[in-house]
Amino acid sequence: MPASPNQITRPRSGHLPCARPHEGRTAVVTGAAHGIGRVYATTLAAGGAHVVVCDLVTAEETRDEIAAAGGAVSLVECDVSEPDSITALAERVSALGGADILVHNAGIYPLKPYDQIGFEEWRRVLSVNLDSMFLLAQAFLPHMRAQQWGRVIGIASAMVHTGAPMSLHYVASKGGLIGLVRSLATEVGADGVTVNAIAPGLVRSHGTSQGLHDELGLFEMVKHEQAIKRTGMPQDLAGAISFLASDAASFVTGQTLLVDGGLARA
């Protein structure tokens, strides 16, 4: 049976990497109902973390997958673009003892030429993808700094490095996130908290499989530009998340790790 929140013990930093590198930690994963976010959540749970699964919808399938494997999981519905919703999330997590790991995966990525993007849509994309990272950091960093251990991981994009078209607002939001990660890492590094990002390439997931990516032939186009000639899958990102969330990455901060099959290798 999964451990109850009151049974969770927190390991000291400095432990060597092990088969369950997140044992005793509480991890918050946003946008975890489907696709890539679900893989992040199940990966951290398999590593021993009690995972708080957050999404706009009730992520019952993610919860059931973690529970079926014997992991500890909690569900919270949350709109990461709304300050009050993040406050409520932080209160729920505080009742579990506070977050040790934050993986901010929630995001939106509409495809549209720059001259067809209205200001309201521009602001919506930046709110969901970038403002939310600021709000989440303010909500969860006090606990991490107080305990002198924490891992904050944002999800950027290789598109920042490739200058992909049809995504001006998305690329701008992810470029801003990379800057936020660098600056925030400087402010909290002395408190034992690392702040990093991973930058995936084009990954076939719940979201991209429902959009224009296939219609526009983007998967084939990107695959041929990569050094590794296959389409990225959510599982390809699991190792990077697990590493950055662990003690093994205690001297890595302010970085953006490209996990894109070598797309942005130039």
Nearest in space to 33 (alpha carbons), one of 8, 10, 55, 3: 55
Q: CA–CA separation, 237 vs 258, rounded Å?
A: 10
Nearest in space to 152 (alpha carbons), one of 119, 177, 122, 169: 177
For residues 38 and 62, is the Cβ–Cβ distance under 8 A?
Answer: yes
Place of tokens 């290789």: 158
Question: Measured over all CA atoms, what is the biggest interatomic distance in the chain, rounded to whole angstroms?
Answer: 54
Sheet containing 150-155, strands listed edge to edge, beginning at the edge strand earlier in sequence: 72-77, 50-55, 26-30, 101-104, 150-155, 193-200, 256-259
Which amino acids are annotated catalytic? Answer: 170
Nearest in space to 191 (alpha carbons), one of 154, 146, 254: 146
